[in-house]
Chain A
Amino acid sequence: MSAAPPLAAGPATLDGARLRYLLRLGDTSLVLGQRLGEWIGHAPALEEELALANLALDLVGQARLLLSYACELEGAGRDEDALAFLRDAPQFFNLTLAEQPNGDFAHTIVRQWLLDNWQLEIYQALAHSTDTRLAAIAAKAVKETRYHHRFSSGWLIRLGDGTVESRQRVQRSLDELWALTDELFTPDEVDERASAAGIAPSLTELEPRWSARIDQELHAGTLQRPARQPYPWHGKRGVHSEHLGHMLGEMQHLQRTYPGARW
Chain B
Amino acid sequence: MSNDWPLFEVFIRSRAGLEHKHVGSLHAADARMAVEHARDVYTRRLEGVSIWVVRSADITASDPGEAESLFEPARDKVYRHPTFYAIPEEVKNL
Contact = CB atoms under 8 A, between A and B. Distances in A.
Contacts of B26: 47
A173 B90 CA distance: 75
Interface centre among B1, B5, B26, B28 (most CB of A within 10 A): B1
A47 B28 contact: yes
B32 to A, nearest CB: 7
B18 to A, nearest CB: 24
A50 B29 CA distance: 16
B41 A50 contact: yes
B32 A47 contact: no
Contact of A45 (B27, B39, B44): B27
A47 B4 CA distance: 13
Contacts of B44: 50, 54
B23 interface: no
Contacts of A169: none
A45 B26 CA distance: 11
B41 A154 contact: no
Given A45-B27, A154-B32, A158-B29, A50 B40 contact: yes
A161 to B, nearest CB: 12
B36 to A, nearest CB: 6
Contacts of B2: 44-47
Nearest to A47: B37
Interface residues of A, number: 12
A256 interface: no
A2 B40 CA distance: 36
Interface in B16-53: 26-29, 32-33, 36-37, 39-41, 44
Nearest to B38: A47
Contacts of A150: 36
Interface in A23-65: 44-47, 50-51, 54
A147 B39 CA distance: 10
A54 B44 CA distance: 8
A151 interface: yes
Nearest to B4: A45
Contacts of B32: 154
B47 to A, nearest CB: 14
A46 B44 CA distance: 15
Contacts of B5: 45
A151 B33 CA distance: 9
A191 to B, nearest CB: 34
A237 to B, nearest CB: 35
Contact of B36 (A45, A46, A154): A154
A154 B31 CA distance: 12
A47 B41 contact: yes
Nearest to B44: A54
Given A47-B2, A54-B40, 18 more contacts: A44-B2, A45-B2, A45-B27, A47-B28, A47-B37, A47-B41, A50-B37, A50-B40, A50-B41, A50-B44, A51-B36, A51-B37, A51-B40, A147-B39, A150-B36, A154-B32, A154-B33, A158-B29
21 contacts: A44-B2, A45-B1, A45-B2, A45-B5, A45-B27, A46-B2, A47-B2, A47-B26, A47-B28, A47-B37, A47-B40, A50-B37, A50-B41, A50-B44, A51-B37, A51-B40, A54-B40, A54-B44, A147-B39, A154-B32, A154-B36
